[in-house]
Amino acid sequence: MLAGAVAWLTLPAVSVAPNRIVQGTPQRAAEALGWGVTLLASVPMLAVAVLAWRPTPRRLPAALALVIAVLVAIPLWLSAVAVSLEPSSRLGIGSAIWCVLFVSLLALIELRVRLALSRPFGWAVLVPVALAWWGCLAQWLAPLALYREYQGRSDQFYAAFLQHLVLVGAAVGAAILLGAGLALAMRRRAGLRRVGFGILNFLQTIPSIALFGLLLAPLAWLSARFEWLAALGVSGIGWAPAWLALLGYSLLPMVRNIFVALDEVDPAVIESARGMGMSRRQVFLQVRLPLALPVVLEGVRITTVQAIGLTAVAALIGAGGFGTFVFQGLGQAAMDLVLLGALPIIALALIADALLSALTDYLRQGGTT
């Protein structure tokens, strides 16, 4: 937190530009709203640093409250800057704010672990922060460059959101089905196991862009050859190669997890299930599968997070999704546009991760029926 406070006082907090083309001029926090507010704002950060110096059970909740206060204060502070600006100017978020955000989130994670907060409670803590951002964006933060970029293309934003979700969903869904089939087949045949893992490992080592490129030619040829494929929208670029590549990358973690999960069920449990007179089918459906499910879901989680990231790269071959903004932004040297693509990708990955971890934990508790 000390580092956060130092950054806050020294690094530029915002950059202000009269319009999109002109490079913004960086401003420190003190320059933007004066020293009084700046120092006042740094008090909670320093306080957290002091509290964390000798953590006691009573100090930790206080620290938690202060960190949340800092996180809530950031959008409010930005709003305060924004209202003082000319209506047409653009407000960029500067390195000081990023630093404070980063340090605060780190502190939050650390505090959650120290206080052993349950998952739902951890999320509840973030609610006021989310509310503050949402409220400020709606009310005062129109000049925020990021928001400007969003407003300029809100339709595209939702389209990208959908494309991203559908692509990830389709790839992970297919990987689950295909992966389960492969894992089951591999359990039966040792030979298939060696060959299968060999191929999947090889797929995993191909760089993603190279794989997209490799798929370009054969798919273009196929779509030219078969009309029904072309009618489906299959071509050398677009969703088809992206989906195939994502599927390829998703298969290894999926197959490996399903295979290991099914294989690692306590043999004593399987033995007694058979000894009690359960049929093969009953042993699999009532014992092996439910016991393997948490590890399988772990695989789904890893695969999903990985696929969300890879889908960003798939934008290069016209598959759409948030990656489009990132590459557009890079092309136009518009950092805020890059952020408009990157931040939702990060958020999406974090949310998917959290949801699937929660589900895994729930199943681990013995809550399966």
Partner 1 sequence: MIELFGVTKHFGEEVAVDGISLRVAKGELCVLVGTSGCGKSTTLRMINRLIEHTAGEIHLDGQPVRTFDEVTLRRRIGYVIQNTGLFPHWTVARNIGLVPRLLKWPRQRVRERVEELMALLGLPMAEFADKYPRQLSGGQAQRVGVARALAADPEILLMDEPFGALDPITREALQLELLDLQARLHKTIVFVTHDMDEALRLADRLVVMRQGRIVQQGAPVELLHAPADEFVASLLGGDTRGLKEAALTRVRDRMLPLGPRLLAHERVAVDAPLSQALSLMLWHRVDRLTVVDDEDIPIGELSLRRLVGSKT
126 lies in the site for partner 1, by CB under 8 A? no
- Asked whether position 340 contacts partner 1 by CB under 8 A, the answer is no
CB atoms within 10 A of CB 339: 20
277 forms part of the interface with partner 1 (CB under 8 A): yes
Q: List 92's β-bridge partners, or say none.
A: 15
Q: Contacting partner 1 (CB under 8 A), which of 192, 271, 332, 355?
A: 271
Span from 106-114, 196-204, 222-230, 265-273 in contact with partner 1 (CB under 8 A) = 265-273
| Stretch touching partner 1 by CB under 8 A, among 160-168, 220-228, 231-239, 262-270 | 262-270
Query: To the nearest whole angstrom, how small is the minimum distance from the Cβ of residue 190 to partner 1?
Result: 17
Near partner 1 by CB under 8 A: residue from 21, 116, 268, 333: 268
The window from 12-20, 183-191, 286-294, 345-353 that contacts partner 1 (CB under 8 A) reads: 286-294
Segment contacting partner 1 by CB under 8 A, of 153-161, 199-207, 275-283, 312-320 = 275-283
The smaller minimum CB distance to partner 1, of residues 25 and 368, is found at 368
Strand pairing partners for 17?
90
**Contact characters 187-226, partner 1, x per CB under 8 A:** ----------------------------------------
Tokens of 76: 């409010």
Whether 315 and 324 have beta carbons less than 8 Å apart is answered as yes
Min dist CB 285 to partner 1, Å, is 12
Question: Binding to partner 1 by residue 368, rule CB under 8 A?
Answer: yes
Q: Does 366 bind partner 1 (CB under 8 A)?
A: yes
Residue type, 23: Q
Residues 6+ apart with CB under 8 A from 337: 149, 325, 328, 329
The piece of 118-126, 165-173, 284-292, 298-306 that touches partner 1 (CB under 8 A) is 284-292
The residue type of 185 is A
**Residue type, position 222, single letter:** L
| 265/285 Cα distance (integer angstroms) | 13
Please report whether residue 291 would count as binding partner 1 according to CB under 8 A: yes
Window contacting partner 1 (CB under 8 A); options: 10-18, 133-141, 172-180, 263-271: 263-271
Among 138, 272, 330, 355, the residue binding partner 1 under the rule CB under 8 A is: 272
Please select the residue that binds partner 1; options are 214, 269, 330, 343, rule is CB under 8 A: 269
- Confirm or reject binding of residue 282 to partner 1 (CB under 8 A): yes
Say whether residue 332 binds partner 1 (CB under 8 A). Answer: no
Longest Cα separation, the chain: 79
User: Counting contacts by CB under 8 A, is residue 275 touching partner 1?
Assistant: yes
Kindly list the strands in the beta sheet with 90-93, ordered across the sheet, starting from the edge strand earlier in the chain.
25-28, 12-17, 90-93
Q: Per rule CB under 8 A, is residue 274 in the interface with partner 1?
A: yes
| Smallest separation, CB 122 to partner 1 (Å) | 25
Is residue 87 part of the contact set for partner 1 (CB under 8 A)? no
CA distances from 76 to 49, 198, 290 (A): 22, 54, 48
Report the distance separating Cα 279 and Cα 288, nearest Å: 12
**Position 296 contacts partner 1 (CB under 8 A):** no
Binders of partner 1 among residues 144 to 183 (CB under 8 A) are none
Nearest Cα to Cα of residue 309 among 357, 359, 249, 356: 249
Vertex 90: Cα angle to 339 and 101 (nearest 5): 45
> With binding defined as CB under 8 A, does residue 287 bind partner 1?
yes
As measured in angstroms, the least distance from the Cβ of 281 to partner 1 is 10
Q: How many CB atoms lie within 10 A of CB 350?
A: 12
Taking the complex as a whole, the smallest distance from the CB of residue 333 to partner 1 amounts, in Å, to 55
Site of interaction with partner 1 (CB under 8 A): 266, 268-269, 271-279, 282, 287, 290-291, 366, 368
